[in-house]
Amino acid sequence: MPKLILRNGRVIDPASHRDSIADVLLADGKIAAVGQSLDPSGAEEFDASGCIVAPGFIDIHVHLREPGFEYAETIESGSRAAAAGGFTSICPMPNTKPVNDNATVTRYIIERAERHAMVNVFPIGAITKGSAGEELAAIGSMKEAGAVAVSDDGKPVMNARLMRRAMEMASSLGLPVVDHCEDLHLSAGGDMHEGFQSVRLGLRGIPSASEDVMVARDILLAELTGARYHVAHISAWRSVKMVEFAKARGLRVTCEATPHHFALSDGDMIAYDSNYKMKPPLRSQQDAAAVVDGLASGSIDAIATDHAPHPGSEKMQEFERCPFGILGLETALGLSLENLVHSGKISLLRLVELFTTGPARVMGLDRGTLALGAPADVTVFDTARAWTYDVNKSFSKSRNSPFHARAFLGGPVATIVGGKIVWRLD
Ligand SMILES: [Zn+2]
């Protein structure tokens, strides 16, 4: 297998506390050496000077839409968008058609990914059959087939007794339970965050309490069962506080935040533009600030995109009828650099943690480090490159992004999976 050497980059590897200019040698799909002036014969050279060389980024929350909704995204197109965003591993949620609630679907996704994906794909199985919230899915056999976690994402598990049983089951199998925290009675068909803006726009509101009560319930159940519990796309400030409280109590509770929830608030919404419609909704400035604080303090463990492709035909309806969700893979790093690093809120090392060791730990993945012998997954990025996002050139099959034509400072330069360059800036 060919060798690749990344020359003179600033190597940031949180797992080994490294932040220094060095060469990184990749051979046989593994990290073979990190050091000064390495001289490997026959290796392909990549000039990384002026760039950050980091462990491959991991996105633990994406929607690839295959099987069932291939008109919106496929494992191949979604993985290309991931590679172009600097991600080397992604975890697709199970809300496909059929739902990934049994080993046959899990195996199908893994086999399709082995053949067509540019990046590593670690599927998440459903908590309940059909994600209908009525009876537990075949969690044990999905784990055997390769599922790394369970979630009914897109929907909450409304029945607390069922959630308790899911946590007990997942706990005995060593899997994390990921919940989409939304009390459906409280969100009650709302379209955006409940507050001044929803009143102004005349749209039905989704109160922060719909998230907060589920996070509270789940933390209590996590304590009762000892389960590993993870809050998907946390957005409300009280929820962040509750996760902080759970961590302080020593519970195995983690959470993730999306770039749109810290980069935008409900005041940024362009009225009735469905590219601003997602769940949880864009919340208040106070909530967005709490998410930034949580990312800085460690209460929030990972940045995840919740990449949710929808074709134009679905997004171009009246606001109330449009599906929830936006693209996220190609803009995540640019938004994170701008709102977290360039703004002085977190260090570059912490940013790399949030894309690597943080998500790896949540999902129990043996990735996210440049340690010798680790898989040769590497993300090369630049903190100073000026570029503009053109959604019409996205690798995704869908175009639903509020960040079209936005200017960014800093973004991915090359994405390397298993020692092979799968995307590079032209
Ligand atoms: Zn969700």
Q: How far is the CA of 153 from the centre of ligand 1 (A)?
A: 5
Predicted confidence pLDDT, tens digits, the chain (426 residues): 689 999 999 999 999 999 999 999 999 999 999 999 888 889 999 999 999 999 999 999 999 999 999 999 999 999 999 999 999 999 999 999 999 999 999 999 999 999 999 999 999 999 999 999 999 999 999 999 999 999 999 999 999 999 999 999 999 999 999 999 999 999 998 999 999 999 999 999 999 999 999 999 999 999 999 999 999 999 999 999 999 999 999 999 999 999 999 999 999 998 889 999 999 999 999 999 999 999 999 999 999 999 999 998 777 788 888 999 999 999 999 999 999 999 999 999 999 999 999 999 999 999 999 999 999 999 999 999 999 999 999 999 999 999 999 999 999 999 999 999 999 998
Beta strands 407-417 and 87-92: pairing type? unpaired
Q: For position 39, what pLDDT does the model report?
A: 82
Instruction: Give the model confidence (pLDDT) of 285-317 as tens digits.
Output: 999 999 999 999 999 999 999 999 999 877 778
pLDDT at 317: 81
Task: Say which of 101, 306, 377, 382 is annotated catalytic.
Answer: 306
pLDDT recorded at residue 2: 83
Expressed in angstroms and rounded, the spacing between residue 65 Cα and the centre of ligand 1 is: 14
Dump strand ranges (E) for 128-168: 149-151
CA distance linking residue 251 with residue 182, whole number of Å: 21
Q: What are phi and psi of 306, to 5 degrees?
A: 55, 40
Q: Provide the 3-class DSSP secondary structure of residue 306.
A: coil
pLDDT digits (tens, 9 = 90+) for 257-269: 999 999 999 999 9
144 C-alpha vs ligand 1 centroid, how far in Å?
25
Distance CA 344, CA 140 (A): 44
Cα gap 332→353, rounded to integer Å? 14
Residue among 22, 376, 33 at smallest CA distance from 368? 376
**Whole-angstrom Cα Rg for the chain:** 20
| CA–centroid distance, residue 324 to ligand 1 (Å) | 9
Catalytic residue flag (residue 306): yes
- Determine the pLDDT at residue 231: 98
| Best CA proximity match to 346, nearest among 40, 12, 5 | 12
- The count of C-alpha atoms lying within 13 angstroms of the C-alpha of 12, restricted to the half-sphere facing its C-beta, is 23
Q: What is the pLDDT of residue 168?
A: 98
Cα-to-centroid distance, 45 and ligand 1 (Å): 41
> What do you get for the CA distance between the two ends of the chain, in Å?
25
Q: Distance, CA 42 to ligand 1 centroid (Å)?
A: 46
249 Cα–ligand 1 center, Å? 26
Compute, in angstroms, the gap from residue 154 CA to the centroid of ligand 1. 4
DSSP H helix total and E strand total for the chain? 14, 19
User: Would you call 289 helix, strand, or coil by DSSP?
Assistant: helix
* pTM, rounded to two decimals: 0.98
What residues are neighbours of ligand 1 (ion), with CB under 5 Å? 153, 180
CA 83 to ligand 1 centroid distance, Å? 22
pLDDT, tens only, 393-418: 999 999 999 999 999 999 999 999 99
Round the average pLDDT of the chain to a whole number and report it. 97
